């Protein structure tokens, strides 16, 4: 399981005194914990489960952990843009290093060409012709590329395909 791998990597990095990696992994584990708490709260409100069942049901699956990792990467990418605007290259560099650490926990990323191919297939499958069909295309395409491609890239490709027709 991905969560166990993250914890093992944290232990190893603690032993090797890799401060940046330890910091990043601790933040990631905290983000995962918060998502689990949120899920547990929703489950507790909607279902009458015993504490042990609730604990087990609220454990995040690997795809949910990938979502948390992606979210952490997105936060850092946004921070990089802000740091670069503020001419703080030292902080931007640190954020880039943190992204490299986090990317180890994502599945293999799709290339732009692969996303383009999938987008083309979905557009043809749905019969989308214009930009107003973008929502339908994205709803169909995003589950196929979840965790494997950035939403912004997928959106850009779909938009380009729909406007070029």
26-76 pLDDT, tens per residue?
A: 999 999 999 999 988 888 877 776 777 777 888 888 889 998 998 999 999
Same domain, 50 and 88: yes
Q: What pLDDT digit, counting tens, does each position of 95-122 carry?
A: 999 999 999 998 888 888 999 999 999 9
pLDDT above 70 as % of the chain: 99
pTM: 0.78
Last-in-domain residue among 105, 126, 150? 105
CATH of the domain at 159: 1.10.10.410
Based on the domain organization, do 42 and 117 belong to the same domain? Answer: no
Asked whether residue 18 falls in the same domain as residue 79, the answer is yes
Q: Quick one: 56 and 133 in the same domain?
A: no
Over residues 86-91, mean pLDDT = 95
Considering the domain architecture, whether residues 95 and 117 belong to the same structural domain is answered as no
**Structural domain boundaries, residue 135:** 112-163
> Is residue 66 a contact partner of residue 105, using CB atoms and an 8 Å limit?
yes
- Residue 133: pLDDT band with limits 50, 70, 90: confident
- Is 101 in the same domain as 118? no
What whole-number distance in Å separates Cα of residue 61 and Cα of residue 145? 17
* The domain boundary residue, chosen from 89, 105, 121: 105
Distance CA 126, CA 83 (A): 41
Question: How many domains are there within the chain?
Answer: 2
Q: How confident is the model at residue 165 (pLDDT cuts 50, 70, 90)?
A: low
| pLDDT given at position 17 | 93
Regarding whether 70 and 98 lie in a shared domain, the answer is: yes
User: Are 16 and 68 in the same domain?
Assistant: yes
């Amino acid at each position: 399981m991905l969560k166990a791998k993250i914890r093992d990597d944290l232990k190893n990095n603690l032993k090797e005194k890799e401060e940046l990696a330890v910091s990043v992994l601790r933040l990631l584990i905290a983000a995962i914990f918060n998502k689990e708490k949120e899920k547990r709260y929703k489950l507790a409100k909607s279902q009458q489960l015993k504490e042990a069942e609730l604990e087990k049901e609220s454990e995040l699956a690997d795809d949910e952990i990938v979502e948390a990792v992606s979210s952490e990467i997105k936060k850092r990418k946004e921070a990089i843009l802000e740091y670069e605007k503020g001419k703080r290259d030292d902080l931007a560099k640190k954020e880039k290093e943190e992204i490299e650490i986090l990317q180890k926990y994502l599945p293999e990323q799709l290339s732009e060409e692969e996303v383009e191919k999938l987008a083309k297939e979905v557009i043809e499958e749905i019969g989308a012709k214009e930009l107003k069909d973008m929502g339908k295309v994205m709803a169909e395409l995003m589950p196929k590329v979840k965790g494997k491609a950035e939403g912004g890239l997928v959106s850009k490709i779909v938009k380009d395909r729909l406007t070029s027709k």
